[in-house]
Amino acid sequence: MPELPEVEVLVQHLRPLLQNRRIRNASVRRAKSVHPTSVEVFEATLKGARIQGVERRAKYLVFQLKPRGFRKTIILLGHLGMTGRMYIQGRRTPFPKHTAVVLDLGCDVFVFEDTRYFGRMTLEARPLAQLGTEPLSKHFNAQAFGQALKRSRQPIKVKLLDQRLVAGLGNIYASEALFRAGISPRKPARSLNIRQIQALTAAIKRVLSEAIRFGSTVLLNFAGERDRDGLFYFGKRRITPRNYSERLRVYDRAGQACPRCGTVIKRIVQAARSTYLCPECQRH
DNA sequence: CACCATGTTCCTTG
DNA sequence: CCAAGGAACATGGT
């Protein structure tokens, strides 16, 4: 489910539902999901805490908590991994099969569900320190981006997944941004010229903000019904609300016609992950 | 059975 | 020390 836009939409959805609410009880159903925090510390710290706010940093959800008896705010970090989902459900609704964490909020319940258990909810905030620039901020510009690329021979697509460089791009939007910018994903990072860096910077911002806008305008239902949270990608069985078909132009479209020139879209493998491109529109 | 999947971390090699 | 590559993590869909 998760790259920057999906997390942003989720945070906007959760914020009004969680803000200023008290956690009556916290229950960890899968110890790995709160690692490196221990189950005991996690549950004891969250029990009775007030949720002061929910923010996003890169692909992380940042929950600000005020534990009972604390004056200071502490950070609870959430990451969805590949299959994580978070939502509020009724008290009497049964928990899904791969429930990782449950927060009892009184009249309803917050659920962190994660099929593959790659995601986390943890009190360890250190991962935030390693993150690079937020791609939608003004600090992410062609000048700074070009500076960061110039020492690397790695293919630009692989470089785009490096969270120390651009914090929040993932495998889907990396392919999409390169397509929009007309740049070959194989091109060594440091070989991009100024025009290409400018085009890629703009394409990244555009692809991400369009996805957020799309996700914010579509009717979403996160309450456990995965076929209803329309922004998100679920493999070949993705649902198709109106204007969804235009959203991803190359990702997972190997064998289909490029929407721009009609050439057949290709799938290649880079750093053990799929990249999709139009060999005609992305020659250099 | 085989291969693929929105992510990150850790280990090895150069 | 750094850059780069690959395995590992775990489960399910096709």
Please give the average per-residue pLDDT across A29-36, as a whole number: 97
Q: Is the CB of A94 under 7 A from strand B?
A: no
**Helical segments of A107-243, H only:** 142-149, 156-160, 171-181, 194-217
pLDDT at A226: 56
| Of A277, A216, A253, nearest in space to A9 by CA | A216
Question: How high is the pLDDT of residue A139?
Answer: 95
Asked whether residue A162 carries a pLDDT value surpassing 50, the answer given is yes
Q: How far is the CA of A50 from the C1' of C7 (A)?
A: 40
Strand B nucleotides, any atom under 7 Å from protein beta carbons: they are: 4-9
Locate the DSSP E strands across chain A: 21-22, 25-28, 50-57, 60-66, 74-79, 84-90, 99-104, 108-114, 120-122, 266-270, 273-277
Q: What is the pLDDT of residue A238?
A: 46
Token pair 């914010």 is found at: A216
Q: Is residue A49's pLDDT more than 50?
A: yes
Nucleotide with minimal C1' distance from the CA of A234 is B6
- What does pTM read for this prediction? 0.94
- For A96, the enclosing helix (H) or strand (E) is none
Q: Is A238 a catalytic residue?
A: no
Q: Which of A22, A30, A238, A273 is catalytic?
A: A273
Q: What is the pLDDT of residues A198-226, one digit of tens each?
A: 999 999 999 999 999 988 876 555 655 55
Question: Do the beta carbons of residue A80 and residue A86 sit within 8 Å?
Answer: yes
User: Which amino acid, one-letter code, is at A86?
Assistant: M
Residue A70: the pLDDT is 87
- Asked whether residue A235, judged by its CB, lies under 7 Å from any atom of the DNA or RNA strand B, the reply is yes
Indicate whether A259 pLDDT > 50.
yes
Give the model's pLDDT for residue A221: 59
A3 counts as catalytic:
yes
Query: pLDDT per residue over A171-183, tens digit each?
Result: 999 999 999 999 9
Q: What percent of the residues of chain A are helix, what percent strand, and what percent coil, each to the nearest 5?
A: 30, 25, 45
| pLDDT of amino acid A214 | 86
Average pLDDT, chain A: 91
Ramachandran category for residue A65: left, alpha or beta (phi over 0 → left; psi -120 to 50 → alpha): beta
The percentage of residues in chain A with a pLDDT greater than 90, rounded to a whole number, is: 86
Question: Cβ of A232 < 7 Å from strand B?
Answer: yes
